[in-house]
Amino acid sequence: MNDMANRMKTVELMQFKENTVSFRTHGQRKNIALHYTEAGQGHAFLVASVSGEEDTVAAARASYAMIADTLFAKRMEIVQERIFGSLSVEAAVLRERKAALSERQIPADGPVTVVAGNPPWGEGLAGMIIHAISSGSADDVWTIMYGENPCGRGWRRSGSTYLMLQNIQGQAGSRPGQVRATLDRAEGILRQNGASYKDVARTWLYLSDILDWYPEFNKARSEKYGEFGIMPGPGDTRLLLPASTGIGANTPSGAAASMDLLAVVENGGVTSPVRKLTNRKQLDAFRYGSAFSRGAVMEEDDVSFIQVSGTAAIDEHGVSLYPCDIRAQIDCTLDKIETLLGQEGAGLTDICAANVFVKRPEYAEVFRETAADRGLADFPAVCVVADLCREELLFEMDAEAMVRK
Task: Give the torsion through C-alpha atoms of 5, 11, 17, 20, to 10 deg.
Answer: -30
Q: What is the pLDDT of residue 135?
A: 75
State the pairing for strand pair 200-207/76-85.
unpaired
Using CA atoms, how far apart are residues 40 and 404, in angstroms rounded to an integer? 7
For 322-334, what is each residue's pLDDT tens digit? 999 999 999 999 9
For 151-171, what is each residue's pLDDT tens digit? 999 999 878 999 999 999 997
Q: What is the pLDDT of residue 26?
A: 60
Q: What is the pLDDT of residue 20?
A: 43
Q: Residue 25: pLDDT band by 50, 70, 90 thresholds?
A: low
Q: What is the pLDDT of residue 40?
A: 79
Q: What is the pLDDT of residue 405?
A: 80
Ordered DSSP codes for 146-206: ETTEEEEEEEEETTEEEEEEEEE---SSSHHHHHHHHHHHHHHHHHHTT--GGGEEEEEEE
User: What is the DSSP code (8-state) at residue 350?
Assistant: G
Q: What is the pLDDT of residue 54?
A: 92
On whether the pTM is more than 0.85, the answer is yes
Q: Residue 19: pLDDT band by 50, 70, 90 thresholds?
A: very low
Q: What is the pLDDT of residue 214?
A: 97
Average pLDDT (120-129) is 97
Q: Does 80 have pLDDT greater than 70?
A: yes
Answer yes or no: are the C-beta atoms of 165 and 80 closer than 8 Å. Answer: no
Average pLDDT (174-189) is 97
Average pLDDT (104-119) is 95
Scored b (16 or more CB within 10 A) or e, 370-387 reads bbeeeebebbbbbbbbbb
Average pLDDT (300-311) is 94
Nearest Cα neighbor of 121 from 368, 371, 375 is 368
Q: What is the pLDDT of residue 70?
A: 95
User: What is the DSSP code (8-state) at residue 387?
Assistant: -
Q: What is the pLDDT of residue 255?
A: 95
Q: Does 2 have pLDDT greater than 90?
A: no
**Best-predicted range by mean pLDDT among 15-19, 50-54, 136-140, 241-245?**
241-245
